[in-house]
Chain A
């Protein structure tokens, strides 16, 4: 055909696209760097969490200690990496726990419907009305400090929103014609749930899980900062910020700043990736061709 020579490109609505183009590569690079660091660094440089070196305390950032040392002479960079590792572990496991619980509860409530649905959702409302940090503190207080109580605490307090999202999604899918068609075609309840409803909610649930990772990391840090999370000698971002509070007033900024950045940058990167994902699965992006 002879036409293409004359064809011109049209920018659809003149939206600024520059920022959006950079978001994906930047955030994926940040997440990749974080993952590499938390996997590789512990393999290369072991950390003795008990070791202190009081002759070397509160050094400003230098070549030997790029992030400086803290008030008992520990290398801030190394502890940041290890702290991030713990935080990521807690964040990911807790987010997964919360998502599994939330998806199960939400999907069950939505699929069964009726009185069960109403009762379950009232319970969810009751739990949601209590600030979940408070609830989390209550849960960790029942255990000895460690990684797992924090995971349990964060997991058990964060499934509520996922349950709501998944239930709403199931309810909207359940009234679709294609579910009716499946029922009419002889599909059992189980088959409708597993084959038609669940695949429909998984993208939403997955998105909720990814969005929850940064949330869970902050939650872990908050618990540790309050002295209720990990044991105080463990390198965790919350513990480090808590330990460094005193030195900040003396003008030693590095033991606070770097753990703070380690908390902010990865969580922002993960949240940004989740945002890209959300755009991908939202219906208005699905069709590139309007026929």
Chain B
């Protein structure tokens, strides 16, 4: 496992995380299988993959928000509260998660901020409630802390008394981010934060999230938007059929030499700025995964070796990873905001 950007102890360390759903009729769904990844302070890890590949389930598992028919395995150690200590998010009970983890140590940036905010209350009242809940501030201190919380997410103070429907999409996203930042959580979890936003709004949103990572927070962003992932991520984890099939540096993934796993390569080739060529076939059912490599039925490189599940060796979980540096073509490296 590659270490983060130099930090000796990762902020979040997920090991062999598996989630199974028991459905009616005894059917079992393997939503997440053997996922291991680290997020360090100041680092952004983008978890990309098709809808239904299990990436949202992973986020729910980390927040302890899975439905009752889910079974989890593995561990997810969140460092803290004290130095050298760590909390296993998967083993912690609900009271611990509610009182000390969610909002305080893991901030959630939601998918649709407009739906995340109560329509009949102003942004100020949302923020004040969260500040009071998390810090216990009252009176003048509460008012000051509320304005400070808004400023931290670059939410303009003169818009604090507006209702959610009076905000533009970008401001609603900032309001939701401000809520996620109130508890000063070292780890931010952003679940599809850009779905349904315009391209320039996507860019602004991810740039702002990137700013929080640069300020020392760990950021795990879950998205199917590869352009957004390229813009924000230090490292990329590609998920396919519940497994992480590639985990590598973003620079090499989107630029040269490119991804090593054939699925990741296919995903990039499907972008309109590249070959615009779909991967043949469709992802397998999580309730009915093929034996061996789940991508083999769609893979041009598959052979007999692919009847066993490949382990993540190096950066890719593949028996026949792409090694030759293929011509990178017109990369989609846009004028990134990263330094």
Contacts and interface: CB of A to CB of B under 8 A. Distances in A.
- Chains A and B touch (C-beta atoms under 8 A apart): yes
Residue among A1, A7, A8, A289 having the largest count of chain B Cβ atoms under 10 Å: A289
Given A10-B68, A10-B72, A291 B57 contact: yes
Contacts of B286: 291
B66 A12 contact: yes
Contacts of B34: 3
Contacts of B91: 8
B20 A288 contact: no
Contacts of A12: 65-68
Interface SS of chain A: loop
B29 interface: yes
B59 to A, nearest CB: 10
B72 A8 contact: yes
A101 to B, nearest CB: 35
B73 A289 contact: no
A10 B23 CA distance: 15
A10 B66 contact: yes
Contact of B73 (A6, A290, A291): A6
A184 interface: no
A4 to B, nearest CB: 7
Interface residues of A, number: 16
A165 B26 CA distance: 37
Interface SS of chain B: mixed
Interface in B32-78: 33-34, 51-52, 54, 56-57, 60, 64-74
A291 B242 CA distance: 11
B56 A290 contact: yes
Interface in A1-47: 1, 3-4, 6-14
Interface residues of B, number: 33
Nearest to B71: A7
Interface in A236-291: 288-291
B71 A11 contact: no
Nearest to B95: A14
B30 interface: yes
B23 A289 contact: yes
Nearest to B90: A8
B244 to A, nearest CB: 14
A289 B71 contact: no
B26 to A, nearest CB: 13
B20 A290 contact: no
Contacts of A3: 16, 18, 20, 33-34, 73
Contacts of B18: 3, 6-7
Interface of B: 16, 18, 20-21, 23-24, 29-31, 33-34, 51-52, 54, 56-57, 60, 64-74, 90-91, 94-95, 286
Interface of A: 1, 3-4, 6-14, 288-291
Given A3-B33, A7-B20, A289-B23, 7 more contacts: A4-B20, A6-B16, A8-B73, A11-B68, A13-B65, A13-B94, A291-B286
The 6 closest A-B pairs by CB, nearest first: A7-B71, A6-B73, A14-B94, A3-B18, A7-B73, A12-B68
